[in-house]
Amino acid sequence: MEYIAEITHIKKQIDDFHLGPIDLRVEPGTITAIVGNNGSGKSTLLKLIMNLVNPDLGNVKLFGTLVYGEDESWKKHIAYQPQTVIGWDAFNGKTLKDFIASLYPDWDEDLFHNMVSTFQIPLNKKFNKLSQGMQQKLNLALTIPRNAPLLILDEPTSFMDIPSKKHLIDILVHWMDQGDRSIIFSSHQMEDIKKLSDYLFVLHNGNMIGNYEKDALLEKYKSYWIQNTTPLPNHTIPGEISRTDQQLISNQADRTEAFLMDEGMQWTKRTSLDLEDIVSLLLKPIETTNDEVT
């Protein structure tokens, strides 16, 4: 398979913070959410992908091209929205659009005006005169219509109100339907992650926990309430990751259920865990003294 992005053994040290090693492959036509605690290195990883930060070790390939080499042809295939943009303060939205649109031959003018209308963005105001939420909306309206095959978004719904978040998700879903495209985005917003992502790449304080298919995670993690007449054994049950009295949480539901049935132990209730609870469980066992970096 030809991957949109291939991140191989990336490491980066920033003061006392260490990121990596990171290995990640992004398939065409998928949406990958980078999730983790504050200071886990999500923004740093996106900057490494975009060659805005140099790694200490490892490589990144985008569309088969090494981003740290002399060939910069990969850049025309990427649209990147950082958390903070520099150099826009003195310009209004119309001027910024005219400049950015001229750089992208597949610029979608209709999508841009649709986003401006949906988010009610005042194009005549200078960027530094807009609220943080409106700056974010303008940033997105200047990024998504570039129609690059890979869209990289760093906390795309920051400072946005609830209706605007819903509009953005609808826009991104429609954008994905227009062709063989991929999105990598970082977020703390679990609702955005639930609605958009196909894969969750989980980080904790610079450590890679893993890359998981969202639907597979939801299928694997189950909570069981065991009948009070059947005491749980003292040893760990296959798949068990925690228990409270007669409640058992498993991340390998098939193994847990096979054991319970073999032992004649019945459950009165079985539920799937919420994605937010699953992510919390993935992060819970990890302890590190790394300082926070965003």
pLDDT at 127 over 90: yes
CA-CA distances (angstroms) from residue 114 to 55, 142, 147, 174, 237? 38, 12, 14, 12, 54
Q: Is residue 278 part of a domain?
A: no
Tokens 């943080």 sit on residue = 132
Residues 109 and 231 in one domain: no
Q: What is the CATH number of the domain that holds 22?
A: 3.40.50.300
**Does residue 294 lie within any of the structural domains?**
no
Predicted confidence (pLDDT) at residue 37 exceeds the cutoff of 80: yes
pLDDT tens by residue, 168-202: 999 999 999 987 899 999 998 999 999 999 999 99
> Interhelix angle for 93-101 vs 109-119, to 10°?
160
User: How much is the average pLDDT of 85-108?
Assistant: 96
Under the banding of pLDDT at 50, 70 and 90, the label for residue 263 is very high
Is the pLDDT assigned to residue 294 strictly greater than 50? no
Mean local confidence (pLDDT), 50-55: 95
Query: Is there a single domain that holds both residue 147 and residue 262?
Result: no
210 and 236, same domain (yes or no): no
* pLDDT of res. 24: 97
Instruction: Categorize the per-residue pLDDT at 128 as very low, low, confident or very high, splitting at 50, 70 and 90.
Output: very high
> For position 255, what pLDDT does the model report?
95
Query: Could you read off the pLDDT of 236-255 as tens digits, one per residue?
Result: 999 999 998 889 999 999 99
The pLDDT score that the predictor gives to residue 285 is 58
Indicate whether 157 pLDDT > 90. yes
Q: What is the pLDDT of residue 228?
A: 84
Q: Looking at residue 125, what is its pLDDT?
A: 97
Q: How many domains does the chain have?
A: 2
Q: What is the pLDDT, as a whole number, of residue 229? A: 81
165 and 184, same domain (yes or no): yes
Q: Do residues 147 and 239 share a domain?
A: no
For residue 292, the model assigns a pLDDT of: 41
Same domain as 165, residue 260:
no
Work out the average pLDDT over 203-226.
Answer: 95
**Share above pLDDT 90 across residues of the chain, in percent, rounded to a whole number:** 88
Range of the domain at 254: 222-272
* Of 58, 57, 198, 75, nearest in space to 148 by CA: 75
Same domain, 205 and 243: no
Q: Give the pLDDT mean for 111-137.
A: 97
- Identify whether 280 is part of a domain: no
Q: 119 pLDDT exceeds 80?
A: yes
270-284: pLDDT as tens digits: 999 999 999 999 998
- Indicate whether 86 pLDDT > 50: yes
Tell me what the pLDDT averaged over the chain comes to.
93
User: What pairing do the DSSP bridges indicate for beta strands 150-154 and 78-81?
Assistant: parallel
Contacts of 55 (CB under 8 A, 6+ apart): 10, 11, 12, 20, 48, 68
Q: Which residue, 214, 231, 263, sits at the end of a domain?
A: 214
Asked if pLDDT for residue 260 goes beyond 80, the answer is: yes
Domain assignment of residue 292, yes or no? no
